[in-house]
Structure 1
Amino acid sequence: MQLSILLKPEAVRVFGKMSSKKRLFQELGEIAATAYGLASSDAIDALQERESLGPTGVGHGVALPHARLHGLDHVRGAFVRLEKPLDFGAVDRQPVDLVFALFAPQDSGVDHLKALALVSRTLRDTATCEKLRANTDPATLHAVLTEAQTSSQAA
């Protein structure tokens, strides 16, 4: 599994300020609709439903919201960099500025978990996160994410 397959360049965005987690999920739903043809309302509802089970902020300014949806054939991703960090209820109580959302088929099973592990490994890398935080161009952010995985596989 590769990030370059999970994440289309048009599913990478930068936002200045996000007023709430709910608003962020609305934006992620719009990205999923635009990039992958998903129903934005379904994506938003699924993200909120998953988040109600417990926050997906994993610490160090990173959140990995994820949801299962009908009508998908593969796991898909959306990445958002926030210029102003957002309180996300993360495990370390730090606000979040790097958000990688995953949308998986309802019956994806192990593929969903593999994608989550891949994204988690990528965003645990301090150097990768520093590069993401230093850039505001979506194309550059996509390149950083997809190159980070390539270089970590070579190691």
Structure 2
Amino acid sequence: MRVNCGHQLLLVMHITDIITPDRVLVGLAGGSKKRVLEFFSKFIAQNMPSLDSGEVFANLVARERLGSTGIGHGVAIPHCRISHCQHAVGTFIKLRERVDFDSIDGDPVDLIFILLVPEHACEEHLHTLAMLAKLFSDEDMRRRLRQTDTNPALFELLSTAIPAAMLPSEDNP
């Protein structure tokens, strides 16, 4: 979606451009950060045969070595660029029990949005990460995500969510 902000035309991505109902998972056993990333890598490769699970896993682990993608408050947004990825692809996972993700606040993680983007999509990657960070920085949204117990209900909640920072306000008309 394109939004005209004064003299600037901005590209605004909606979360349903990235996830689908079959890529929202509730109640996954976590175990560890590595196990979650490994599960996702196999899961996404099964759903998208053009992606190689080994490449996805290696790139996610390499990105985590640069610094944790645990953004705090029990949320992580692991992300990386992938060579055979044609467009941004995401999966949202709500873990059954929290796992250590080396988050910036030290809290373990139970809400994970994993994002893959094409290698050449640098600007799209940054805009998408910013949108996700704004969405998950909302305390009420995190509470509602944690209270939702089915894949369809979780997808519905995510698909109707608009990050508060993206809504018009007195400071940002």
Same fold (TM over 0.5): yes
Whole-Å separation in 2 of the counterparts to 1:116 and 1:51: 15
Shift of 1:36: 3.1
The question of 1:68 aligning with 2:74 is answered no
Whole-Å separation in 2 of the counterparts to 1:115 and 1:36: 20
Alignment partner, residue 27 of structure 1: 39
Cα RMSD, aligned residues only: 1.7
Alignment partner, residue 129 of structure 1: 142
Shift of 1:86: 0.6
Shift of 1:150: 7.8
1:108 to 92, 114, 121: 121
Moved more, 141-150 or 99-108: 141-150
Moved more, 60-69 or 10-19: 10-19
Contact 1:69–1:106 under 8 Å retained in 2: yes
Shift of 1:152: 7.0
1:34-49 to 2 correspondences below 5 Å: 34-37=46-49, 38-49=51-62
Alignment partner, residue 77 of structure 1: 90
Shift of 1:30: 2.4
Which letter does structure 2 place at the counterpart of 1:49?
A
Which letter does structure 2 place at the counterpart of 1:28?
F
Moved more, 94-103 or 37-46: 37-46
Bigger relative contact order (CA 8 A; separation at least 6)? 1
Alignment partner, residue 158 of structure 2: 145
Percent of pairs identical after alignment? 32
Contact 1:8–1:35 under 8 Å retained in 2: no
Offset from partner CA, 1:97-124 (integer Å, 9 cap, x none): 0000110101111000111111111111
Give the TM-score normalised by structure 1.
0.93
1:105 and 1:90, CA in 2 relative to 1: closer, same or farther beyond 3 A? same
Identify unmatched segments of 5+ residues in structure 2: 1-12, 169-173
What secondary structure does 1:89 align onto? coil
Identify unmatched segments of 5+ residues in structure 1: none
Structure number having the greater helix percentage = 1
Give the TM-score normalised by structure 2.
0.83
Q: Across the two proteins, how many residue pairs are aligned to each other?
A: 155
